[in-house]
Amino acid sequence: MPVAPFVRSQPNIPLGIGCMVFAVSCFGVMDALVKWLTAGYPTLQIMFFRSLCAFPPILVMVMRGGGLGLLRTRQLLGHCMRSAFGLAAMFGFFFSYSFMPLADVTAISFSGPIFIAFLSIWLLREKVGVHRWSAIVVGFIGMLVIIRPGMGMVQSGALIVVLATLLYALAMIQIRKLSESEPSTTIAFYFTAFCTVVTGLTLPFVWVTPAWSDLPLLIGVGLMGGTAQLFMTRGYALAPASVAAPFDYTHLLWSVLFGWYIWGDFPDLQTWVGCAIVVASGLYILYRETVRRQPVPQVWTE
């Protein structure tokens, strides 16, 4: 999901929406590449390429945002906490692609804003009224509709996606804290660096030498992810979060398209109904956040 810029540009809502739509399409391509590659490569190796090859777009963000001086920080521990949560969430999402349809994973991950709203009550001491509480409860009901509680949920691996979404929410809570003093580009850089180093240390134990035909795909995972971050940052600089954030839900369309065209997967009616409930709940939470205060946009951890 999105990264909030530290200094906003002049508003340009149509261009901001265009950047958001393009960014989400890049994430959709990245997800399809990850799912394709999980058939032959360990998740940690794919994550390494995702992080390493995302550096060119991230460095563009750094240079456009003020240069290397932007990387100075007094919140190194905070960056490590955010990165640890984000790395664990990324592993859960990527690993789940190996045995779940793209659309199912995406639908469950849409419950992220609901987890964030719930965790904010306990971790950020935010006061929550009946409106947000109602949206949280309805959102969790929608998530249950998607994952179908019972043994089927355990067998399908939906619990892994739910756990990954919870970890993602914890990462976003940490980003809210960091954003009080850190530019979004700095947060994105340290997350990318952390993931590259940690996953790189695992390579001697999991490495599978890529086929020449797969190497561009592995590189493409990182380039797509980094480019998506770059354009989401730009999108949130050009348009208010209340306008730009809803376009993140177009992620499901890409997941359905790639999942159906490549793997023949298409969500059933129950998944569509549950997803509609979750999306409606998330949008209502966003609306209430916008009414109450300007929300802090979020950074998708893929």
Could you give the CA distance from residue 84 to residue 107 in angstroms, rounded to a whole number? 23
pLDDT at 103 over 50: yes
> Is the per-residue pLDDT at 211 higher than 90?
yes
Q: Cα angle vertex 297, ends 108, 69, to 5°?
A: 125
pLDDT tens, residue by residue, 250-289: 899 999 999 999 999 998 898 899 999 999 988 888 877 7
Q: What is the pTM for the complete model shown?
A: 0.88
The pLDDT of residue 6 is 40
Instruction: Tell me what the pLDDT averaged over the chain comes to.
Output: 85
Per-residue pLDDT band at 9 (split at 50, 70, 90): low
pLDDT at 149 over 80: no
CA 88-228-198 angle, to 5 degrees, is 30
Say which amino acid occupies 243: V
pLDDT at 1: 37
Per-residue model confidence (pLDDT) at position 4: 39
Is 98 strand, coil or helix? coil
Cβ-based burial of 103 (10 A; exposed 0-12, middle 13-18, buried ≥19): buried
For residue 300, pLDDT over 50 is answered with: no
pLDDT in tens, 49-75: 999 999 888 888 888 777 778 788 888
Query: Average of pLDDT values for 19-48?
Result: 95
* C-alpha–C-alpha distance, residues 220 and 238, integer Å: 27
Backbone angles phi, psi at 230, to 5 degrees: -60, -45
Q: Which residue has the higher pLDDT, 116 or 91?
A: 91
- Average pLDDT value for residue range 238-251: 82
- Cβ–Cβ contacts within 10 Å for residue 297, how many? 24
